[in-house]
Copies of this chain bind each other. A is one copy, B any other.
Amino acid sequence: MTNFSLESNPTEALKATFRGHASGVVIVTLLDEHKNPVGFTATSVTSLGATPPLFTFNVSQGASSWPAVSLRGHVAIHTLGAEDVDLARKLAGPKVARFTDQDWNPGPFGLPVFEAASSVLIGKIRDIHDVESNAVVIVDVLEALLGVEKGGLLYHQRNFVGVGEVLD
């Protein structure tokens, strides 16, 4: 235990650890109650078993997209490459500018599909677990739109980064 310093404040402990944890960046899209497109950039999407195929993501109930998520409808997850960093930034930026370009089209179940995605996983929200002011969203996979394989897009140390070399 010689190499470590103790961070006893739990909020600082979480922040310091997750700054050093590289996470994959995706765009999540869905529809609001008026069938208008909603979307956001997320780093919390992760698989939850393949039989049956499920995935999860985490969201704050204070987020602008939360009312749409809480409808428990269909949802699309877009995987991205390093060349899509501006798209990831746009979907993390002002809500009014997220769907004003001609870079998306309505896809399965009317979900917004960004054409740049390397793949688009289509699912239906099965369950939402409230945890404090956040939520864990459980999604059943229905199908996918598979595009061109890309190198991956990550968030690490407060920067968007690409995927590095394969390790032997």
Q: Write the A74-97 contact mask toward B (1 if CB under 8 angstroms, else 0).
A: 000101001001000000000000
- A interface residues with partner B (beta carbon < 8 Å): 1-18, 20-24, 26, 43-56, 58, 60, 77, 79, 82, 85, 105, 107, 113, 115, 118-122, 126-127, 129, 131-134, 136, 138, 140-154, 156-157, 159-167
Known: A22-B153, A161-B164. 19 other contacts (CB 8 A): A1-B105, A4-B146, A10-B141, A10-B142, A11-B50, A11-B52, A17-B120, A18-B47, A44-B48, A48-B136, A49-B60, A49-B131, A49-B132, A56-B136, A154-B164, A161-B163, A161-B165, A161-B166, A162-B167
